[in-house]
Each structure stands twice: as C-alpha cells, then as structure tokens.
Amino acid sequence: MNQALPVGLTWPDYFPDDCPPGDAQVADGEVYRLVSQNPPLNTDFRPRVIEQTNGEYSSNLCKACGLSVFRDLSDIEETRRYSGALKNKIVAKGTLIPEAGVLKTTPNARRGGKTHSTWWVPDEFDPTHLFQVIENE
C-alpha cells in the first residue's frame, strides 16, 4: 500500500489544515462499510463532521471528516453487534481505487475494530459506485 498519492486530489473545505494526515496511504483494496440503503446512496457516505453538528468529534476533527470502513468482514459485524446505533445498518463491500482518496488504519480498542480504518474522500468524488450491499438483514 505504499504507493504515491494520486496527483490533483482536492479536499472538502471543511477539512482542517493537515487533514488528511500525512501518514495516510492511497486508498486501495476491499473495504466494508455500514450503510442504510440498498443500493447505497450519497447519504450513506456523509462524514460524522457533517452528520453531527453538536461537536462531539472536536477532539479529533480530522478523523471526523473521514468515513469509517473496515478491512475485515467479521470486524464490522462485531462492531455492529456492540453498537445500538449501528444494529439496523447493512453491510456494503467496496473496492477502493487511488482516485477515492486516502486511508489510515485507526483501530478502536473499546469496541473491537482491529481493522477499522478512516477513509478521507476527495471533494466531488462519488463513492456510491464503488460499493454494493452484500447482506440485507
């Protein structure tokens, strides 16, 4: 995953300075994301900084500008099991490409999530075409 970052990516205006972090890697490979719709819509790819206007993310604004994805299916299922807010979500699988932005492993020790990663999506990039629901419970 140590590829050169794609040239010409621009980030949304709400990203703070130095975001995404310099140690993020080019987005590539399979990831899983919890979504609400089948097929996933743009609303399934809104970062927490847009969804939560109460500022609960203020300790890590850059991370709140990214999207949560997982590299391992069992990891996302475990996270969903332990989070009441995520119980009704469905799993979508996507294959990231370099134009999709950058990714950094950001495990969550409290709820499992060893393969949790934060994905920063460039301005004007539509991630919906990269994802398909793989289960619909």
Check residue 8 and give its pLDDT: 78
Vertex 101: Cα angle to 96 and 106 (nearest 5): 85
**23 or 79, greater pLDDT:** 23
Rounded Cα distance, 58 and 93, in Å: 29
CA atoms within a 13 Å half-sphere pointing along the CA-CB vector of 40: 24
> Counting Cβ atoms within 10 Å, is residue 56 exposed (0-12), middle (13-18) or buried (19+)?
exposed
**Residue 82 pLDDT grade (very low, low, confident, very high; cuts 50, 70, 90):** confident
Tokens 């699988």 belong to residue: 93
What percent of the chain lies above the pLDDT cut of 70?
A: 82
Number of CB atoms found within 10 A of residue 91's CB:
19
Check residue 47 and give its pLDDT: 92
Please indicate, yes or no, if residue 77 is contained in any of the structural domains: yes
Please indicate, yes or no, if residue 20 is contained in any of the structural domains: no
Please indicate, yes or no, if residue 24 is contained in any of the structural domains: no
**Residue 131 pLDDT grade (very low, low, confident, very high; cuts 50, 70, 90):** very high
Q: What phi and psi, each to the nearest 5 degrees, are found at residue 89?
A: -80, 160
Please indicate, yes or no, if residue 19 is contained in any of the structural domains: no
Does the pLDDT value for residue 135 go beyond 80?
A: no
Check residue 15 and give its pLDDT: 92
Average pLDDT over residues 96-118: 84
pTM: 0.86
Average pLDDT over residues 97-113: 82
How many domains does the chain fold into?
Answer: 1
Does the pLDDT value for residue 57 go beyond 60?
A: no
Domain span including residue 55: 41-133
Average pLDDT over residues 70-91: 81
Please indicate, yes or no, if residue 10 is contained in any of the structural domains: no
Please indicate, yes or no, if residue 129 is contained in any of the structural domains: yes
DSSP codes of every residue in the chain: --PPPPTT----TTSPTT-S-TT-EE--EEEEEEESSSS--GGGG--HHHH-TT-TTGGGHHHHTSEEEES-HHHHHHHHHH-GGGTT-EEEEEEE-GGG-EEEE---SBTB-TTEEEEEPPTT--GGGGEEE----
Please indicate, yes or no, if residue 32 is contained in any of the structural domains: no
Average pLDDT over residues 64-72: 92
Check residue 137 and give its pLDDT: 45
Tokens 């130095």 belong to residue: 18
Please indicate, yes or no, if residue 5 is contained in any of the structural domains: no
